[in-house]
Chain A
Amino acid sequence: MSEDSNGEQAGGWLSSMPGVAARMAFEQAAARIIQLDTVTAQRLQALDDRVLQVSSTTPVLDIYVRMGEKPTILAVWEHEVDCRLEGSAVELMRLALSDEPLVFLQQSGITLTGNSDLLNTAAAIAREADFDWEGQLAKYTGGIFAHMLGSVVRSGHRSARKTADIMLTNLPEFIQEELRVLPPVGEVDAFREDLDELRLAADRLQARVARLDKDLMERQDQSASDRE
C-alpha cells in the first residue's frame, strides 16, 4: 500500500500496490491491442499528453487517462485536465459503451467540463479502431480457422453488447422496483408533494396560532383597561 507521511493514501485504492499492478496490467494489454492497428496508434499519438479525468460519484473514484500511443491510467494528476466527466459509475459505463457519446451526454446526468473535443475524438478512435487480431491469429492457425473464429467472436460480441445495453437500461428499474434499494421516481415525487402540502398546512397552522395569540393578548389588554 502507498500511504503518505500523514497516513493518508494518495489516489485511494488505485494508488495501492494492487491498484498500480492492475492498472499496469490493463495498460500493457491495451498497448498490445493498439499495436495491432497502426492507424489507431497514430491517431492516439496525435492526442499525446492530453488528459481526460473520469470522476465517479457512486462509488467515489477519480481516474485520469493520459492519452498517447500508449495510454496510461493515473490515480494522481497534479496539473489541469483537458476534459472532465462526472457521474455515477453506471452512467459512465453506459457512456463508454455508447456510439454517440455527446448525444448520450445530453440525455444522462453526466457533467462534462473542459474540452469536449477530446472526448469526441477519443470515442471516434475507439469506435473506428480496426484491430487486425485475425491477421495475428492467422500466423499461428492459418487463415480459414482464424476467419471462422473471428465470425464467432464478432457474433458473440454483438450479442454481448446487446445484452449489456438491455441490462444497463433495466438496472435503475431493478434497483428501484425489485431490490427496493432506492425509491422509484414516482414514489419520491408523491412523497415530495405530500411533504410540500404538510409544510404548507404547518405554515397555515402556525399563522393561525400567531393570530389567535395576538387576539388573546389584545383581549387581555382590553379587559385590563376596562377593569381600571
Chain B
Amino acid sequence: MSEQHSRDKTHFGYKTVDSEDKEKLVANVFHSVAGRYDLMNDLMSMGIHRLWKRFTLELSAIRKGQKVLDIAGGTGDLAMKFAEIVGPEGKVVLADINDSMLKVGRDKLTDQGIIGNIDYVQANAECLPFADNTFDLVTISFGLRNVTDKDAAIRSMLRVLRPGGRLLILEFSKPRHDVISKVYDAYSFSALPMMGKLVTDDAESYRYLAESIRMHPDQDTLEGMMKDAGFVKTGYHNLTDGVVALHKGIKP
C-alpha cells in the first residue's frame, strides 16, 4: 500500500516535479502564506478546522507529564492545547520544516503565555532529529500531503514514538458521497484561490492547496501506508463526510 511515486519525480499539486524541488516549492508556498495562515484557515474552512482539531485532541488521550511531538505544527493550534494538558511536568515539541511558519507559531504561543514546557524545532518529517522511543504522541495535522516521501515520514514518526505511543494524522481526504465531492471540488478550485488572492495576494498557493488535497492518498491507502510502516490498531474517522480524515495508529 506504499505511495506510488518514482525515486526522482513526485507531484506538486497536479504538476510533476523533481523530488528535490518539491521541498523548496512547498517552502515557498508557506513562506508566502505564513503571516495570514490562521485567518485563511478560518475563512477557508468557515471555522470548522477548529472542530477537527478539537476532535484530534480528544482522540489523543494525552495526559499530564507526557511528551508530544506536533509535526508541521505551523501556527501551533494543537501544540498550545497539548502544552496546557501535559502541564509543566510534560513536554511539547512544535516542529515544522518551514521557518516562517515556526516563527509565527512561536510568537503566537509566547504571546499567549505558553512557555517552559514547549520547544520549537525546524525539522523535516522524513528524518526527525529525535532519539528513538521519545514521544507518547506524535501528531501531524494538514502537513503530511506536503511531505515528499510520505512513507519515510511515517516510518520516522514510528521510530520516535515510544512503544504503545500513538500517531494521529489529521489530513484532507476523500468525501464519501459524490454530491459532497462535487460541491467540495467547485468550492476548492474556485473559491479558495479567490480568497487567497484577496487575503494574501497569492492565488497560486491556494490552487496548490486544492490540487495537493486531490493528490493525497485516500483514507484506506493512508491506513495501508501506516500498517506497512509497522503501526498496529490502525483506523480512521471521517470528519465532515470524509472531507477530512483522522487516522490513528499505535506503535507496537
Contact = CB atoms under 8 A, between A and B. Distances in A.
Contacts of B235: 4-6
A74 B240 contact: no
Contacts of A3: 237-238
Interface residues of A, number: 23
Contacts, number: 55
Given A17-B51, A24-B51, A76-B59, A5 B240 contact: no
B198 interface: no
Given A2-B237, A5-B219, A21 B55 contact: no
Interface in A1-41: 1-6, 10-11, 15, 17, 20-21, 23-24
Interface string B35-75: 00000000000001011001100110101100000000000
A50 B204 CA distance: 47
A77 B241 CA distance: 23
B63 A17 contact: no
Given A2-B238, A76-B59, A79-B63, A48 B87 contact: yes
A49 interface: yes
B58 A76 contact: yes
A76 B235 CA distance: 15
Contacts of A21: 51
- List the 10 closest pairs (A to B, CB-CB), nearest first: A78-B61, A49-B64, A20-B51, A2-B237, A5-B235, A3-B238, A5-B236, A4-B237, A17-B51, A2-B239
Interface of B: 48, 50-51, 54-55, 58-59, 61, 63-64, 84-85, 87, 219-220, 223, 235-241, 246
Interface of A: 1-6, 10-11, 15, 17, 20-21, 23-24, 48-49, 70, 74-79
12 contacts: A1-B238, A1-B239, A2-B55, A2-B237, A5-B220, A5-B237, A17-B239, A20-B54, A23-B54, A49-B85, A49-B87, A79-B63
